[in-house]
Amino acid sequence: MFDALPHDVDIYEVGPRDGLQNEKTVLPVETKLAMIESLVDAGIRRIEITSFVNPRWIPALADHMEVATRLRRREGVRYSALVPNMRGLDSATRAGMDEIAIFMAASETHNRKNINKSTHKALETYAEVVREAMDRGMAVRGYVSCVYGCPYEDQVPYENVEYVSKALVDLGVYELSLGDTIGVGTPRQVAGILQGLLGAGLSYDQLAVHFHDTRGTALANTTVALQLGIRTIDSSLGGLGGCPYAPGASGNVATEDVVYLLDGMGIRSGVELDRLPAISVEIGAKLGRELPSKYTKAYVGACAKSGVPV
């Protein structure tokens, strides 16, 4: 059952962007920078720091330029930011980003709701963005959202997922993050999608998984992805997250929970698990709520029982 497990896995931390984008409480720049620094101190080596979108779309990330320009870049850490169009790319360029991410859905309706474009038009737009980004020396990652279900269309045909995935790879995207935007995916479904894409010619190095835990299946789905040899897992500190254009979507799978799973399975991530709860607790306090990570809740309870500070 576990013969194909990878020895090493990359954690791609999305908390500072995907995690914070839907929060009503807007954290100050200093808090965001401290959050990113703390995650890097804990061993995170790939991290999405913000999104260069119009502040009217995502008010919680209106400070994207200040976050990106004030951040202290560390050697050996890959910092990325989401961009929706050429204007966003220009902002990311001025901010000194070496990597960007683009995003679209396997669902036609979600594309129209989220980025105000049809699937075809979105691909036309991104063709220009990716080409220009690569000319500027940037790496480009891609998100395919609504892979396992859509808040507007319900089920999404596999053919849509394969079409969008192949189209983005053909544009020059080096890695695809397959998103369960509304958290409806189940292990058999995850296996079918991943096996289909691998059979269609995509490689293990081109695929990452991005699960939301709306219905409690994110870790089970992560386990299936690992069993199939996937080596990049998107996660968010504390389980922060949610898409403003996907009604009912809850947070991403928590980074702490994923690292605990990986440690227990003997898979190296390079992340120090016991450094994460303190960061989650602090960010939760700033947001005025307890974050949903199950590992952090257990860790905090154990600390309280033994009288040791988190």
* pLDDT tens digits for range 141-157: 999 999 999 999 999 99
**Cβ atoms within 10 Å of 150's Cβ, excluding its own:** 24
Per-residue pLDDT tens for 23-73?
889 999 999 999 999 999 999 999 999 999 999 989 999 999 999 999 999
List the Cα angle 83/257/27 in 5-degree steps: 45
- Could you tell me if 233 and 209 are in contact, meaning their C-beta atoms sit under 8 angstroms apart? yes
Residue 245 has pLDDT above 60, yes or no: no
What is the overall mean pLDDT for the chain?
A: 95
Confidence of residue 234 (pLDDT cuts 50, 70, 90): very high
Q: For residue 262, how many C-alpha atoms fall within 13 Å in the half-sphere facing its CB?
A: 27
What residues contact 255, with CB distance under 8 A and at least 6 apart? Answer: 11, 13, 15, 39, 44, 235, 236, 237, 238, 271, 276, 293
* pLDDT value, residue 247: 57
* pLDDT value, residue 249: 57
Burial class (CB in 10 A: 0-12, 13-18, 19+), 90: middle
Confidence of residue 3 (pLDDT cuts 50, 70, 90): confident
Residue 6 has pLDDT above 60, yes or no: yes
Residue 165 has pLDDT above 70, yes or no: yes
Confidence of residue 246 (pLDDT cuts 50, 70, 90): low
Per-residue pLDDT tens for 47-56?
999 999 999 9
The closest of 195, 202, 203, 205 to 227, measured between CA atoms, is 195
Per-residue pLDDT tens for 106-145?
999 999 988 889 999 999 999 999 999 999 999 999 999 9
* pLDDT value, residue 148: 97
Per-residue pLDDT tens for 78-111?
999 999 999 999 999 999 999 999 999 999 999 9
Give the integer Cα–Cα distance in Å for 269 and 267. 7
pTM of the model: 0.95
Show which residues are catalytic. 243
Give the integer Cα–Cα distance in Å for 302 and 284. 18
What is the percent of the chain where pLDDT is above 70? 97
- Could you tell me if 51 and 61 are in contact, meaning their C-beta atoms sit under 8 angstroms apart? yes
More confident residue, 301 or 22: 301
* pLDDT value, residue 241: 85
**Cβ atoms within 10 Å of 260's Cβ, excluding its own:** 21
Question: What integer is the mean pLDDT of 195-209?
Answer: 97
Per-residue pLDDT tens for 257-296?
999 999 999 999 999 999 999 999 999 999 999 999 999 9
**Cβ atoms within 10 Å of 292's Cβ, excluding its own:** 20
